[in-house]
Structure 1
């Protein structure tokens, strides 16, 4: 008998300020049946206001986490899929969890920190497109 899997996904970026919390909230909206989380390599800033504004427009602000979280707070081995925003994030994840190698994908999305609003919006739209593609997956167990 075939059944649907409740996929457990972790998004990782540098500070859990822009990219990963945005991706987390968008995927939570599209796939409420999945377990979705995010984390950063280092935590020094709150989640960006620009992310909150974008998620408000997407009717997903209520799905945004309250504060950034560090990668060290996560049990990486428990995730089915880990999305690293850049190759450096993958390298860091592998130092913490070498056995996670086959669970990691890299999206190559640049950090919007210090970008102007127009370029930042392009990054946000790029993340939304990738999240929408990911949400269309139908993982199954046999």
Structure 2
């Protein structure tokens, strides 16, 4: 972290391997491209110690091809400290929102809630589907183009 941090954002998903990671690295790429140094971005998962040995790495390949640096990837378990360390915790689905509510009696935002005002999940395609690669590219582009709006909307929330 460089200088003073104005805002800290944590993206939350289940395994901290796909959706929250894509959001994290798309956001970091956006910040770098726009020379924004006072926002800190991270991701975590409610089951970040789960077995992901059979999961696809396709999203890393696609992001790297897009020039998005994913070299700092590491899985992080969500914990109560997250409420102290992050101003905004943004989950990907009701599973994450419900987990935080039940385990910690706290509320978090959904990604789409901040992005477009909809209380809807960000879903991922099934890895065994014929169009999985296309769906993964769509998912990454969804996050990539949503991040500037997310940042703007979070700034409005703070005002």
Instruction: Kindly indicate whether residue 122 of structure 2 is the aligned counterpart of residue 109 of structure 1.
Output: yes
Aligned 8 A contact 2:93 2:110 in 1: no
Instruction: Kindly indicate whether residue 60 of structure 2 is the aligned counterpart of residue 55 of structure 1.
Output: no
Using the size of structure 1 for normalisation, the TM-score is 0.78
Residue correspondence of structure 1 range 1-142 to structure 2 within 5 A: 6-31=6-31, 32-42=37-47, 43-45=50-52, 48-62=56-70, 64-65=72-73, 67-72=74-79, 75-78=81-84, 79-99=86-106, 101=107, 103-107=108-112, 108-114=121-127, 115=129, 116-137=132-153, 139=155
- Secondary structure at the aligned position of 2:110 is classed as strand
Residues 87-108 of structure 1: per-residue CA shift (max 9 Å, x gap): 1111112223323x2x423431
Distance change >3 Å, CA 106–CA 55, structure 1 → 2:
closer
C-alpha distance in 2 between matches for 1:112 and 1:131:
20
Unmatched 5+ residue regions in structure 2? Answer: 32-36, 113-120
C-alpha distance in 1 between matches for 2:9 and 2:77:
15
- Secondary structure at the aligned position of 1:83 is classed as strand
Greater RCO (CA < 8 Å, at least 6 residues apart) = 1
Give the root-mean-square deviation of aligned CA atoms: 2.7
Using the size of structure 2 for normalisation, the TM-score is 0.70
Report deviation, 1:121.
Answer: 1.3
Aligned 8 A contact 1:17 1:48 in 2: no
Report deviation, 1:137.
Answer: 4.6
Distance change >3 Å, CA 139–CA 97, structure 1 → 2:
same
